[in-house]
């Protein structure tokens, strides 16, 4: 997978619930960033997978700050 022009190993991006799994092949990716493919389970068997991206916590923080700023701006202009 490429992120900011840098290739990354998808197996390295799995969270702790993916321990022991390794991504074997990727067959598709959609506009939402979901990835389908095949992985090797800890028991050694191949399995079909669907990987869904999870936003970084900083994304939520920026969204909250932006929303708060808009609310403050609107509250100043809507006071009667």
Residues 37, 11: Cα–Cα separation, whole Å: 12
What are the tens digits of pLDDT across the range 15-60? 677 678 888 888 999 988 888 999 888 899 999 988 888 766 666 6
Q: Domain limits of the chain?
A: 2-78
Per-residue pLDDT at 15 = 65
**CA separation (Å) from 32 to 3, 11, 48, 54?**
15, 19, 19, 11
Q: Say yes or no to pLDDT of 74 above 80.
A: no
Enter the tokens of residue 80.
Answer: 């009667």
């Amino acid at each position: 997978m490429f992120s900011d022009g840098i290739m990354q190993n998808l197996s390295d991006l799995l969270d702790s619930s993916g321990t022991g799994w390794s991504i074997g092949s990727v067959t598709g990716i959609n506009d939402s960033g979901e990835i389908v493919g095949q992985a090797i389970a800890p028991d050694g068997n191949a399995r079909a997978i669907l990987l869904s991206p999870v936003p970084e916590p900083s994304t939520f923080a920026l969204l909250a700050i932006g929303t708060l700023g808009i609310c403050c701006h609107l509250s100043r202009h809507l006071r009667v």
